[in-house]
Amino acid sequence: MSDNRLIWLNGNIVPVNEATINVLSPTSQFGANVFEGIRCYWDEEEQQLYSFKLEEHYKRLKNSMKMFRMEDKYTIDELKKGLIDIVLANNYREDIAVRQTVFIDGFGSWMSKGPISMFIAPIAKSRSDIEKKTGMKCCISSWERISDRNLSPKVKVGANYINSRMAQMEALENGYDSAILLNNQGKISEGPGSCLFIVRDGKLITPPVTASILESITRDTIIELAKNEMEIEVIEREIDRTELYICDEVFLCGSAMEIGAVSNVDGIVVSNGEIGSITKKIHETYMKTVTGKLGNYRKWLTPIYV
């Protein structure tokens, strides 16, 4: 399916091989693009595909465009309609991930504001099953997370992922599964493409949005679910590197990863090395939420087939 996919490009629906861009465009030359990674989950019983937190993704996309000084070209309804149209055109009846990217097209330079183009690319991606997973082995990266004073992590711009790339490549080359980055204050920030939580004495702790992190939609979802559905206290505060060595549980989270347990940091086993009970419970509650099994949160779902 993936090779024959259809892609939405500037209002046209085209085969993936025909969805081409100008090699000289600022997006191609300088990573001048902002994007969202959005999940949609298939409900076999209802024969329906539900996208998760579309409004929140489009709000963040528009914020990225504003911070990146792009013309505010698309309304939320247009952004949403493009996604629905391309998913329908591909007739997906399975879990998918959608990349929606607004980019600087044309023949300009790294400082061009336009012309603005957009593509929307869905691909099959099944949901995770924590029972089949083992925890990841992570290192604290020797690369520092970008900060709001150089490349803001709040802007979901393609160029920011060079920082993630350096950290992830180093981790893999050194035999780890992934990396956790420190910010310019030497405190824990996030993973290369995910936010981080730890558990200490039954409480969930996560770095604040000012700790050089992306304002993650999954992080917000987990905070709300933990407080309202699971009666777990959530604390947003700075986290020291060594807390990862002595805490009870560590996990990373994001739209793509969902919940990913971390069982080892810098070669030090987290607790007994098994996936912890709170991580499992959060995974279960999160998956119920994104698949519409928790009534209170169906407001976060948008049906695609109407």
Ligand X SMILES: Cc1ncc(COP(=O)(O)O)c(C=O)c1O
Residues designated catalytic: 156
Encoded tokens for 150: 């150089």
- Window 16-55: contact mask with ligand X (x via CB under 6 A): ---------------------x------------------
Question: Which ranges in 107-266 belong to alpha helices (H)?
Answer: 161-173, 217-228, 243-246
- 240-279: which residues touch ligand X (CB under 6 A)? 254-255
Cβ distance to ligand X smaller for residue 21 or 209: 209
Please, which residue, 16 or 97, has the CB nearer to ligand X?
97
Q: Which residues between 79 and 98 bind ligand X (CB under 6 A)?
A: none
Our finding on whether 218 is near ligand X (CB under 6 A) is yes
CB 221, min distance to ligand X, A: 8
Nearer to ligand X, 192 or 292 (CB): 192
Please list, in sequence order, all residues whose beta carbon lies within 8 angstroms of the beta carbon of residue 151, skipping any fewer than 6 positions away. 157, 159, 160, 163
Q: Give me 23's structure tokens.
A: 């090699």
Retrieve residue 250's tokens. Answer: 């560590």
Give whichever of 37 and 303 is closer to ligand X, judged by the CB atom. Answer: 37
226-233 long-range contacts (CB < 8 A, ≥24 apart) are 226/282, 228/296, 229/285, 229/294, 229/296, 230/281, 230/282, 230/285, 232/202, 232/203, 232/204, 232/278, 233/202, 233/203, 233/204
Choices 6-14, 99-107, 213-221, 267-275; region in contact with ligand X by CB under 6 A: 213-221
- 193 near ligand X, rule: CB under 6 A: yes
Peptide bond connecting 26 to the previous residue in cis, omega within 30 degrees of 0:
no
Nearer residue to ligand X within complex by CB, 6 or 290 = 290
At 48, the amino acid letter reads: Q
Q: Report, in Å, the least distance between residue 306 CB and ligand X.
A: 25
The nearest distance, CB 65 to ligand X, in angstroms, is 16
217 binds ligand X (CB under 6 A): yes
Token pair 């098994």 is at which residue?
274
Burial 24-45 (b: 16+ CB within 10 A, else e): ebbbeebbbbbbbbbbbbbeee
Helix/strand number for the chain, H first, E second: 7, 15
Stretch that binds ligand X, among 40-48, 210-218, 240-248, 288-296 (CB under 6 A): 210-218
Burial track 55-77 (b if 16+ CB lie within 10 A, e otherwise): ebbbebbbebbeebebeeebeee
Site string for ligand X, 154-183 (x = CB under 6 A): ----------x-------------------
Residue selected from 65, 121, 195, 225 as contacting ligand X according to rule CB under 6 A = 195
Minimum distance from CB of 107 to ligand X (Å)? 29
Nearer to ligand X, 189 or 263 (CB): 189
Give me the amino acid identity at 241. R
Phi, psi of 129 (to 5 degrees): -120, 110
Interaction between residue 194 and ligand X (CB under 6 A) = yes
Residues 6 or more apart from 9 whose CB is under 8 A from it?
19, 117, 118, 119
**Does 216 contact ligand X by CB under 6 A?**
yes
190 interacts with ligand X by CB under 6 A: yes
Which residues bind to ligand X, rule: CB under 6 A? 37, 164, 190, 193-195, 214, 216-219, 254-255
